[in-house]
Structures are given as C-alpha cells and as structure tokens.
Chains A and B, each alone.
Chain A
Amino acid sequence: MSIENAVADAGCQDRQVRHERGQRAVFCGLTSIVWLHRKIQDAFFLVVGSRTCAHLIQSAAGVMIFAEPRFGTAIIEERDLAGLADMNEELDRVVNRLLERRPDIRMLFLVASCPSEVIKLDLDRAAQRLSANFAGSVGIFSYSGSGLDTTFTQGEDTCLASLVPVLPEAGRDAPRSLMVVGTLADVVEDQFARLFRDIGLENVHFFPPRDSQHLPPVGENTRFLLAQPFLTETARTLQRRGARHIPAPFPLGEEGTTGWLQAAARTFGVPDERFEAVVAAPRERARRALSAHKAKLEGKSIFFFPDSQLEVPLARFASRELDMTLAEVGTPYLHRQHLAAELDLLHKDVVICEGQDVERQLDRCRQARPDLTVCGLGLANPLEAEGLATKWSIELLFTPIQGYDQAGDLAELFARPLNRRGRLEV
C-alpha cells in the first residue's frame, strides 16, 4: 500500500520532498480540543461520535485533568443508527441536558467525527437549529475533527475556520488592524501584545480570544499573521472576508520571532530603527538563553516524525539556532505557501517527508540513529526502549514555546532528554 515516490518540485529552490503514503501514526483533529478548551474559557466541545472518539480524547487529554473538563462526547449508539430523524432529536436532548447542567457555557461546538460524517449527520444544520433555540445565550457552531479529514492540530484549524463567519465586521473605514491567528499561551500572547504596542501597532487582536465574548473584528483593513503553521482553512476563510495574510516565518526561536514580528512591522510601516530598538533587548535575552543549550546540542542529529505540522519551523530552529543536524523532517502536510519563509531558511539538502508510512519511517529512523527523535505519544517509549532519546511532539503544543522569552525553554525541551540520559547510570 505504500506509494513512495520522491518528487523534485520545481520552484525557486530545487527542494526534494518525499511523499509517502501508508499507515499513519497521527491522532485525529479531535485532539486539538485538549488545548482549545483551555484557551476559550467559556466554550464547550461536544464531540458527536463513537465510543472510540470519547476514548481518544480521554486518553489524549489524559486523565490528567482534574476538574470537570469542558468537553464531552455524545456517543452514537445502535438505536441512533436505526433512524437519522431520531438522531437529531437525540442530539437536541443531549445538548439541552448539557446546557442545563453547565449554564456557564457561552459557546458550544458540535464536533463532527468519522462516524458522524460517514452516516452524513449534518451538524451544520443541527448547529443552526439549536442556535435558534438558544439565541442570545449560547453561540452554537460546528466543525470537523474527524480522522477522515483532519490530523491532530488541524482540528484547531477547522474550529477557528468555523468561527470566522461570525467575527464582527470591520468596515471599509475601520483603521488598519493586525490579527494574530492561532492558539498561543496567555503569557506569550501578553508578551507579543507588549512588543506590538512598543513598536507602535495600535489595533492588535488575537484569535482565538480567551473568551467567546471577545471575537476580533475582521475586514478589508485587517492584516493577519499566523502564529501556527497548520491554519490553512482559517487563513482561507479570513481572506474571503477581505483580510490579508502577512507572509512570515513562525515565531519560534530568536530568528523566527524576529522575522515574524518584523513582517508585521514592515506591513504597518514601522521604521526599521524603531523596530530594532524595541526588539534589541529581548533578542539579546533570547540569544543568551539559547547559548547554554546550544553548547550541548550542537552537532547532535534530530529526526522528526510527522505529527503536529510544527516540524518544519522546529527543524529550522534546531538547525539554525542550535546547530543540530536534521536527519529527516517528517510532516503530515506541507503547506508550501505558508511555509515559504521557513523553507527558504532550511538547507536545500534537508530531507522533508510529507505524509507517512510509519513502519518504513521507523526503519529509516533506526538506521539513522538520531541523537533525538521528536514523535507522537505512541512511538516514544518503544523508541526509548531501542535506545533512542525522544521528545513528545504534543508537548510542543502545550508548552509556551513561541517568542523571544521562550526560545531558551524550547531549546531546553530538546536538551532535556539528552541531559537525562547523561545522568542515569542504570
């Protein structure tokens, strides 16, 4: 079943991208709920799916969350499959029960899964119908997190894209504004907000917002920066509403952060001297924080299994700021346009692999014996048992890693597994 072919793309660089198709070891988009529900604090995510879906988010979210989480599953049962009409009634009943129990919910997402898509349960319609019932008190949306359509982080993309149509309209004469798109930890968001303010940008909004009542406005005078590389659909829908994308590298590491901030600064006509003056100090801090880790990591090789779509920016950071060598950079999907600035910074010989055939990739990884392997949760311990140091890629979604003041933390995430191995005598 593996159709493996290396294709030489024609483009401004002659970059080899290997396309692989086979068994994939990636989570589905439902997984994004785990961080989205912590970000949008008055939202609830109701997966309409099977027992498998319920089990997935439970396992991915870990029984680590102690409070009652703001997500749940409406499990489709045998009798629901018997009649679709009843299924809509059932869904209404479940939603009513949920909203009665949790009056604090302001925004409810009905999240489609593989089973709900295969049986063609129309959750968009259901969301509209329920919205009418709860008009004014709860906004009800739907998006797909199914494994048929999305991997892992793409659930965030489909979720945010579902919100774009209800963002308030910024009219033609609205002042120019910047929208930062993609979930960032609050602390990182605040740091960026300060930096933007200091370089003189006034109208800066973050999407998703911390609560559902603060959706950012969008219109023809909106320029947006992607904070995450996996937001393809969200970017497209924003463009449809007139907003324009600012091409930039992603804000990982000192270099990525500078490139990202600068892209915005240039778009808004901030003089370079002012920009340099504002970022000089944090840049210097980031370099200092990186240097200690760099001493330990330089020359070490790193192998990325495809998982979060953060792989290309992370590889750029590892190779350019930590002087690591890249054994292979796997990514579930390579968005050439959004990653253009990143790809420009990567050495031409780097092996980029799009898609996955996990067994073959494991063979290559074993053969390369990298010093560090970034991979999904299911692969890490088996690789450790084979003597390879690993880092869970999901950790890079949960940990604040963007921006100057997190550059050192990001490097530390890579350094820690090696550090630990250095300590153990057993």
Chain B
Amino acid sequence: MQLTVWTYEGPPHIGAMRVATAMTGVHYVLHAPQGDTYADLLFTMIERRDKRPPVTYTTFQARDLGTDTAELFQAALAEAYERFKPQALLVGSSCTAELIQDDPGGLAEALGLPVPVIPLELPAYQKKENWGAAETFYRIVRTLAGPRQGQERPKNERPLANLLGPTALGFRHRDDILEITRLLDSMGIGVNVVAPLGASPADIQRIPDADFNVVLYPEHALSTAQWLERAFKQPYTKTVPIGVTATRAFIAEVAQVAGVSADVTERTRLPWYSRSVDSTYLTGKRVFIFGDATHALAAARVASKELGFQVVGLGTYSREFAREIRAAAAEYGVQPLITDDYLEVESAVRDSNPELVLGTQMERHVAKRLGIPCAVISAPVHVQDFPARYSPQMGFEGANVLFDTWVHPLMMGLEEHLLRMFREDFEFQEAPSHLGAAPQAPKEAPVAREAAAATAQAAAVAVAARPAESSGTAAAPVWLADAEAELRKIPFFVRGKAKRNTERYAAEKGISNITVETLYDAKAHFSR
C-alpha cells in the first residue's frame, strides 16, 4: 500500500483514454463503476476539449455485482457500437472491473461486431497512466497495421516520416507536432501519419508506408516504434528535439536516416539571448528538475548547457526510464530521484535549496509553498498548461519558448528577492509580491517594529552596564543611532548585505553595539 497525497500518474486506463481521445473513429468501452466517469473532466475541463472523450462506461453498481455485470458489458458495447459506429473499438476494465474478472475481450468477441475490437489488458494494480498509453497505442498499431507485414513499402517521392507519441492531455503535444512537421518540411521530408493524436484507424493502417519514425515522446511511443522497426524495418529516431543542442542533434540524426542534407536555418534566439549581458545573472542559478523522463532529461540539458544553470536535483516519476535518468544525474553530479511519492519530491526540493524549480503541476505547488519561482515542464498538467497561444517545447521555436518560460519566473524571483531584502525601504513598501501570499513571516506592523527596536535599545543599555556578560551569541548586536544613519547612506541595493555582514562581524567579534567604526571595520574585513 502506498500513501499518497497527490499522484503524478493516473491508472493505466487513463492512459488508454488519452490515446482513444486523441484519435478519431475509435471508441473505448470501459467496464467501470459509475465514479470512474470522472475521467471525462480531465479532457473537457483541464484540456478544455469541446467534445466528450469517446468512452462508454458500463457504470455497474453494487446491485449488479455477481449477477449480470458481464451482460451489462455486452449491452453497453452493442449500444455504443450502434450509436457511434466507430471504425475500431477498444475494450477494457478499470481497476474495479479487473477484480470482478469479466474478460471484456472475450465478451466482445462473442458479439461478433463488424469492426476490429482491440482488447486492452492494463493491470491497474501494477501499472500506471503512461504505460497504459504506450500499451494501448502499441495494441492499436499492431492490430491495425500488423496484417501488412511482408508487404513492400511504396517508393516515396520524398522521404516520409511518422510522428509517434502525441496524445490527448499531453504537455504541448499539439504544438510540438506543428513545429516538428515544419522542421522536417524544411529538410524536404514529408509527414506520413501523426499518431495517435489526430489519427483514424485508416491512418494507422498507413503507418508502414513511411520510411522512418520520429519518436516524439518515448513514454508513449517507444514500444510501438521498436515493434515497427522489427515488423517493417522502419528505423526510428532516438533524440528528442527539445532545446537547441538536441534539435541540432535531431536534425543530424534525421538527415542520416532519411539521406538528406542537415543544412537547416536555425530560427532561434536562445543562443544569443543566453550570451547577451543581461543573462549574466543567470549564471549558476540552482535549478531542481522533476517530471516525466523525456522532459526532465531535456530540461537538465537545456538548463545546464544552454542557460548556464547548475542542476541541483534531477528526477522522474517514469520508472520505465530510470536508467536514463540515473546516467544523466551522474553527469550533473546529483543524486537521481526516481519516485512517484510527492512527499519525497517535496522534501528533496526543500533540501536542495534551489532558486528555480522546473517540474510538474505538483512541484508548482511545492515551489509556491516554499516561495521559489517555478515553471511547468511536464505532465501532470492543469488547465493553464493548455495555453491559447502557440507554445511548443520542441524544435527551434520550442527553444525560444523555453528561454522565455524558464527565465521569466527567475527574473520575477530576482525582483522578489529584492522586495524581501528591501522591505524596509519606502519605495518597496507597496510593491505587491507576484508569488501572492508567499510563506514568509507576516510583515510586522510598524508599531511592533518600533517597539522591538526600543526593547533592543533598552537591552543594549542593560548589556553595556554589565560588560562581563556580553559573551558571543547571546543578544543580537544593536545598531547605535550614528551607525544606523550611516547605513542609510549606503545605496539600497547593497544595504541589506552591508547590514548583514556588519551584524555577522559584530557577532563574531563579540561586539554588542554597532558603531560607525564597526560598520567600516566589517566592510574592510569582508572585502579581503
């Protein structure tokens, strides 16, 4: 049993729904209790789709158990076929139906429907959402394209590729497809089929016509691509083109596979933006990365090599890709975090003390609580991760998007930092925080602050009267009026540091009253 507060992945039948919903002309009949229909809202609300997912649930209840759940399944299947007339049907069980063992595949076969029926066996107590998506996609492609094994591939006028892996509810999949299609087009390569997103069963049957496959999201498409390589000798690409360097590597790989030139105009501002002087402050920013394996690996590379950050944490919930994450973590000199325990990720974020978090919706919550800037790089996603504008992650435009979306929160972070540092300054008093109610200590009321200062002065007098007792750590050093006035003359953007350094110096030297001399002694001390 695993205790969870939030989960990164739903059950495997949600993965199957992501594939079914992405496609056209398929319908999924899911043996499930009524509550499982909640899944519709993921697509209609989070992704803001304008149609219900193509799923019919049997919605059995307690009174159906043990008597007629199998009949219920068959009736639902027959009715769904009649109503939707799909070109192919998917049938399967959710976790509860798995326990009552009705065998949707066998029940469907007995009905003898006139379209392909693809049974899905998705063990809900072992596997999760991404695995479910990969398995569903693989089953669909195998069933529909499998009969073409042994046929010759047609000679294509120009090289043709399939784009594999995008699903419904994917992180920017919609836009990545467009970007990669354009990129391939600029290399003289056509796109044969994009699947599952946008594909019909008839399209799936055309997959073997392409010369090679582009695996956009290995979590969903790797097993299918591997099978296509075996069955149809279609090679597939290994590089995921996220970031400038990976896009270049992807172009080289594609050029080789397709036998075309790798000469492509790089329409990206990232390299120059990274080199511009304004970006100097990004140097060595500590970044914590967590997400699905594809996006986490890409983020680590872009962060460290293209933006000059320091990776202080790298992890994934995709256990299937643990090996890749471990290798990358070794390269960045951090401990890999392979877990789906949200609480564990939360404490890792806290411990690594980053200045930026690149994560999922869950890490956005963590970061918010800790008052750290954050950008979302991977599913699980929320409605705001389906922006109205074009916003790919892949290719050259994707690199531009990464620069903007990762650097902006940091700039805000810098601003936030200044706000906190100069809270006392009147210019900053009214500035609202972009982090909203961040978890800093509530601002003290001015009155309380004055009272505290008065008490401190009284204490200083008391301490001065008993010099023997003023040993080291006891009371915080107190600023005498002259020194405080002098401090105010220091420009505000270094004042906080000067103040802290002076206090630290005073504490180290056992000085209880800070004078103008102490201030400058400290300055001299720290400027060594």
Contact = CB atoms under 8 A, between A and B. Distances in A.
Contacts of B35: 26-31, 56, 114, 146-147, 151
B1 A80 contact: yes
B382 interface: yes
Given A51-B7, A72-B4, A24 B72 contact: no
A28 B2 contact: no
A421 to B, nearest CB: 16
A68 B34 contact: no
A118 interface: yes
A203 interface: no
Nearest to A119: B99
A78 B123 CA distance: 9
Interface string B92-125: 0011100110000000000000000000000111
Interface stretch (A88-96, A252-260, A366-374): A88-96
B466 interface: no
Interface in B50-86: 50-52, 56-62, 65, 72, 75-76, 79, 83
A23 B7 contact: no
A52 B52 contact: no
A78 B52 contact: no
B33 A147 contact: yes
B365 A66 contact: yes
B465 to A, nearest CB: 44
Interface in A40-66: 48, 50-52, 54-56, 58-60, 63, 66
Chain B interface residue bracket vs A: 35 or more
Nearest to B75: A1
Given A114-B96, A118-B100, A148 B62 contact: yes
B426 interface: no
A382 interface: yes
Contact of B57 (A23, A73, A74, A114): A23
Contact of B125 (A28, A50, A55, A379): A50
B14 A55 contact: yes
B300 to A, nearest CB: 24
Interface in A364-422: 376-382, 384-385
Contacts of B429: none
A359 interface: yes
B124 A51 contact: yes
A185 interface: no
Contacts of A80: 1, 125
Interface in B1-19: 1-7, 9-11, 13-14
Interface of A: 1-2, 23-31, 48, 50-52, 54-56, 58-60, 63, 66-69, 72-78, 80-81, 87, 90-91, 93-94, 97-98, 114-115, 117-119, 146-149, 151, 359, 376-382, 384-385
Among all A-B residue pairs, the 4 with the closest Cβ atoms = A28-B35, A147-B35, A378-B40, A1-B75
30 contacts: A1-B75, A23-B37, A23-B56, A25-B40, A27-B37, A28-B33, A28-B34, A28-B38, A29-B35, A31-B38, A50-B11, A50-B96, A55-B38, A59-B39, A66-B365, A75-B2, A114-B33, A117-B62, A118-B65, A118-B96, A147-B36, A147-B59, A148-B62, A151-B35, A378-B37, A378-B45, A379-B40, A382-B51, A384-B50, A385-B50
